[in-house]
Structures are given as structure tokens and as C-alpha cells.
Amino acid sequence: MTVNTTERKLTKNGMQWEFLYYNNTQLSNLYHKIGSSQIEFLRDRRDVRRVWVIDPESNEPFLVGLGMGWGKALLETYKDKPVNESEWIRRVRWLQKRVKRTLTPYLFKTNISAQMRLEAVENAKKEQKKVRKEREKVNETIRKGFDEKLLHYGKNTDESDSENVIHDFDDYIPKKVTNVTLSEEKASLATYMPRELSTSEYPKKKLPGE
């Protein structure tokens, strides 16, 4: 656990760090004992939702959670997940420049939640674009490989047999096809199903004497 030691002034509302207020009954009782004084507390950089205040009399730390509405704001924004210190500071610095006034739990919750939704949409678009580019790259690789095979086939074919020489991709498409009805559905390997002949459609072998 990465823990930093920090000093802040204790007030009747608890103590504040980076706009977050921390308070509970035990901290309130400490305020009634020592008044407005500088106190030390430990914070875990992996999660800003709680700190450990060091009791100046016993020198023992005790756990203090968020107060003044911040606990609910972080719960509704991040659900029940730890909030990293760098993530918190980055968000509040961005919000300070945007709202230009005192940062409150409500302002944080509404603005940051909206920004996080926009970021999620942008990330989804980037992922779709990445997938599309990868698909196009695969298709281009397949096409190049097919063109190389056609070129190799054309070079190995007897030059005198001009009907059998494949010069380009269009020559590969059979031209002696008649009475073909195209379906509205685009043909693909996934949709193509060869038609099975019934036994009555197979050519019958002629028997002697017929």
C-alpha cells in the first residue's frame, strides 16, 4: 500500500484535502478535544475515499471516510470502486477550469459523469475504427495473395491457348453462364448452400435392350 503522510487543519466540518472533506464521529470528538489544530493523517494513493487520522494524544491512527456529501457523489460517479489519487486530481483540475467557481459534490457528479459518458462514446468509436481498419487490412492481404496466384497461373499457361490465359481478375469470372437469376441477398460463404439433387434428377443408366 502506497501511503503518504499529510498535515491539514482540523475544523468543525472535519478536514479537507483536494476539495474532499473527511469527517466522522471520532474525528468530530477529536475536534471538541483539541479545537482547530493541525493534525496528521495517512492517505492511500490508490483510493481517496478514506484516510487514517493520527490521534495526537495516543499517536494511533483511526479510519475516517468522506463527509459533506462527497461520499455519495463519488459513489454515484464511480460506483463502489476505488478512486486513484491521480485520477481524482486530474478530474478536479479539469473541472476547475470548466466551472470557474467553488467545486461542490453536485457540480463534480453532474459534470464528471457527463464527461465520462462522452469519453466512453469516443473510445467505442475509436475501437470500431480500429476493427474496421484491421478488417480492411486483412481483405487487402487476401486480395493481393489472390492476384499473385492469378499472375502465376497466367505465366504458366500456354501462350497459344489464349482462351485459357487469365490476364486479370475479371477474366477469372466465368462468362459462359446463361439464365442466371440473382438473389437480392448478396452471396457469401456464409449464405451459399449448394443445391442437392433428388434421386429422381440423377441421369438414369440405360439397361441393355432399352
pLDDT, block means (10 residues), the chain with 210 residues: 86 93 94 92 93 92 93 90 92 88 88 80 74 77 70 58 50 49 48 47 54
What is the pLDDT, as a whole number, of residue 122?
74
Report pLDDT for 113. 84
Written as nine digits, the cell of 152 is: 502465376
Provide long-range contacts, Cβ within 8 A and 24+ apart, for 18-22: 18/48, 18/88, 18/89, 18/92, 19/92, 19/103, 19/108, 20/48, 20/66, 20/70, 20/88, 21/66, 21/67, 21/68, 21/70, 22/50, 22/51, 22/53, 22/64, 22/65, 22/66, 22/67
Question: What pLDDT does residue 33 have?
Answer: 92
User: What does the alpha-carbon distance between residue 55 and residue 160 come to, in Å, rounded to a whole number?
Assistant: 100
pLDDT in the model for residue 41 = 94
Against a cut of 0.75, is the pTM above it?
A: no
| Domain ranges across the chain | 5-83
Q: Are 78 and 48 in contact (CB under 8 A)?
A: no
Alpha-carbon distance 57 to 21, whole Å? 23
